Amino acid sequence: MLVLNCPYCGLDKDETELSAGGEAHLKRFGPGSSDEDFEGYLFERTNPKGLHFERWRCAFGCGKWFHAARCTATLEVFGTYKAQTLEPPKVIKDVITTKRPGWSWRNFS
C-alpha cells in the first residue's frame, strides 16, 4: 500500500484515500496553440522507470491537490509538496539528490 503525506492536512494517507492525477508540472496549451503543443499537452507523457513527479488528490480527506516525488520502480516516496508551484521545491530536490545522485526529470535536475 502506497502511503503519501498530504501537505495540506498533514496526515499520512493510504492510496485508497487518494486519487492519482498523472504527470506533474505540465504546461497547459489551449485554443490558439500549435497542433504539436496541444498533442504534447494532451497525450505525450513522461513515463519514466524511476523518479517521477505526479499530481495527487487527497480525495477522501481534505480534497486538495498536491504533488508527490516518487520512484516508479521501487515505489519509494521522496516527498510531497503543495500544488502552488511550477517546479519541485529545493527541499524535495535535496532529498532526491542524496538518494539518487545525478537525477534528472524533464528539464529539472
3-state secondary structure of 22: strand
Nearer to other proteins, 35 or 101 (CB): 35
| Bridge partners (DSSP) listed for residue 4 | 13
Nearer to other proteins, 94 or 104 (CB): 104
Measured between alpha carbons, how far is 89 from 1 in angstroms, rounded to an integer? Answer: 26
Nearer to other proteins, 13 or 52 (CB): 52
Residues in contact with other proteins by the rule CB under 8 A? 1-2, 15-16, 19-20, 22, 35-36, 39-40, 42-49, 52, 54, 72-75
> What is the closest distance, in whole angstroms, from the C-beta atom of residue 41 to other proteins in the complex?
11
77-82/12-14 β-pairing: unpaired
Nearer to other proteins, 22 or 63 (CB): 22
30's CB contacts (< 8 A; 6+ apart) are: 38
> What is the closest distance, in whole angstroms, from the C-beta atom of residue 4 to other proteins in the complex?
10
> What is the closest distance, in whole angstroms, from the C-beta atom of residue 87 to other proteins in the complex?
19
